Amino acid sequence: TTYCSVGIVYIYSLVPNNGVYGQDLSENLQLFSGLDAVLNYFRNSSNPLAQKILHTFESDCIYMTPPPIPDTTDARRKAFIVIEGNHRPSRDALGMKLTKMLEGRYLNNPAPCLIRYLQELLPNSVLRRAYYVLSLYASDFNTRVQLSTGRSVVLNGCWLDQLTFSLLKTYGQTPLPSVSSQMFSWPTDLLQPDLIFFLSMPDNTQNRASLGWRRPQTWQNRSGCCGDGTVPANE
């Protein structure tokens, strides 16, 4: 029997963006403030791998002008949902199940057009951080394409994934800034999801084994447990 009693779903309410991040804030967090900032990093880098990634992004990932998408008030507009959390296999299982229910398109990060470079990137390097942020914009483009064709989109991991990693690296066990801080603002050039699910799974490895963490299908038998009490992410 498979249970999902540990599968607590939280909905993250986005803080309205009051402007672009300050340069110092971005540097302290090792988090790029938007597409222009991350592109400038790649264009100014002398690293051959960085140049390969940039070329692939500009030629393969963004292969046309991003199409317009219906406004959120338009009945034709389908949902854009992001799955975040601390256990990727469970995120994957829930995301694929939800995509099937919505008859939509499931997308992953890093984006398929850039995945070939992942194993070449050094852990904890600035290039690796830049790569992950650039991949968000490749996924953003793919999301817009799918929404423009009338499909729902479920994306595994987005901005909060990168923000959380940067916060942990920067603050560790020290207190975090207030939730009203500008650093929690969603980038203005990145499409906001209509809904965000956050899966919080226990860190204890013994609990993982006893609760069926070895099977990504943990969420499939009880997918209905996530359908109540949710609210749009931008409320």
Write down the domain spans for the chain. Answer: 35-64+104-174
What 8-state DSSP symbol labels residue 12? Answer: P
DSSP state letter for 37: H
Beta strands (DSSP E) in 98-183 are 105-108, 153-156
Strand ordering across the sheet containing 105-108: 8-10, 195-200, 80-85, 153-156, 105-108
Q: What is the pTM of this model?
A: 0.76
- Among residues 155, 231, 226, the alpha carbon closest in space to that of 190 is found at 155
Is the CB of residue 90 less than 8 Å from the CB of residue 219? yes
Contacts of 79 (CB under 8 A, 6+ apart): 102, 104, 152, 153, 194, 195
Tell me what pLDDT residue 204 has. Answer: 56
Task: In whole angstroms, give the CA distance from residue 208 to residue 128.
Answer: 29
Residue ranges of the chain whose pLDDT lies below 50 = 1-26, 205-206, 209-235
Q: How far apart are the first and last CA of the chain?
A: 37
Write down the pLDDT at residue 88: 86
**Pairwise CA distance, residues 154 & 121, whole Å:** 27
For the chain, what is the radius of gyration of the CA atoms? 18
Q: Which residue has the tokens 């057009």?
A: 113
Per-residue pLDDT, 8: 34
pLDDT at 203 (0 to 100): 67
Q: What gap in Å lies between CA 73 and CA 85, rounded to an integer?
A: 28
pLDDT of residue 5: 31
